[in-house]
Amino acid sequence: MKIGILTQHFLLNYGGIIQNYALQQVLMKLGHEPLTFEHDTCYSRTRWFLRTVKHILRTRSFRNLPVYPIYKGRIGNKNFIKFVLKNIKSIPVKDFTPSLTAQYGIDAYVVGSDQVWRPAFNLGPRLGNMFLNFADDKVKKLSYAASFGCKEWEYTKEQEKACSKLARRFDAISVREASAVDLCKNHFGVDASLVLDPTLLLNREDYEKVCNDIPKKEKHIFVYSLVVGESVMTVASKVSEAKNLPIVVKGAGGKVKKEDTIEDWFAEFRDAEYVVTDSFHGMVFSIIFNKPFSIVMNPSGGNDRYISLLSQLGLMDRIIKDNQISNLESINWDGVNKKLEVLRHESMNFLKVNFNQTHEE
Residue burial 294-325, b: 16+ Cβ < 10 Å; e: rest: bbbebeeebbbbbbbbbebbebeebbbeeeee
Give the model's pLDDT for residue 344: 97
Per-residue pLDDT, averaged over 188-198, amounts to: 97
Structural domain boundaries in the chain: 2-201+342-354, 204-330
Helix (H, G, I), strand (E, B) or coil at 209: helix
pLDDT at 297 over 50: yes
Per-residue pLDDT, averaged over 114-126, amounts to: 89
H/E element holding 57?
Answer: helix 45-59
Per-residue pLDDT, averaged over 339-356, amounts to: 95
Res. 270 pLDDT band, cuts 50 70 90: very high
> What angle separates helix 262-271 from helix 14-29, to the nearest 10 degrees?
90
What is the CA angle 327-333-339, rounded to 5?
115
Residue burial 89-121, b: 16+ Cβ < 10 Å; e: rest: ebeebeebeeebbeeeebebbbbbbbbbbbbeb
Tell me the pLDDT of the chain averaged across its residues: 89
Taking the model in full, what pTM does it have?
0.90
Q: Which class is domain 2-201+342-354? A: alpha beta
pLDDT at 329 over 80: no
For residue 359, which amino acid is it? H
Residue burial 333-353, b: 16+ Cβ < 10 Å; e: rest: eeebbeebeebbeebbbbbee
pLDDT at 313 over 60: yes
What percent of the chain stands above pLDDT 90? 68
Hey, which bits of 67-191 come out as E strands? 70-71, 74-75, 90-93, 108-111, 140-146, 172-175
Give the model's pLDDT for residue 360: 46
Per-residue pLDDT, averaged over 65-88, amounts to: 78
What percent of the chain stands above pLDDT 70? 90
Res. 283 pLDDT band, cuts 50 70 90: very high
Per-residue pLDDT, averaged over 188-201, amounts to: 97
Per-residue pLDDT, averaged over 150-177, amounts to: 96
DSSP states along 61-97: --TT---SPEETTEES-HHHHHHHHHH--EEEESS--
Per-residue pLDDT, averaged over 268-283, amounts to: 95
Give the model's pLDDT for residue 149: 86
Give the model's pLDDT for residue 361: 42
Who has greater pLDDT, 69 or 191?
A: 191
Give the model's pLDDT for residue 62: 64
Domain 204-330 in CATH 3.50.4: no
> What angle separates helix 304-313 from helix 333-354, to the nearest 10 degrees?
110
2-201+342-354 and 204-330 agree in CATH topology: yes
DSSP states along 228-297: --HHHHHHHHHHHHHHT--EEEEE-GGG--TT--HHHHHHHHHH-SEEEES-HHHHHHHHHTT--EEEEP
pLDDT at 105 over 70: yes
Per-residue pLDDT, averaged over 148-173, amounts to: 95
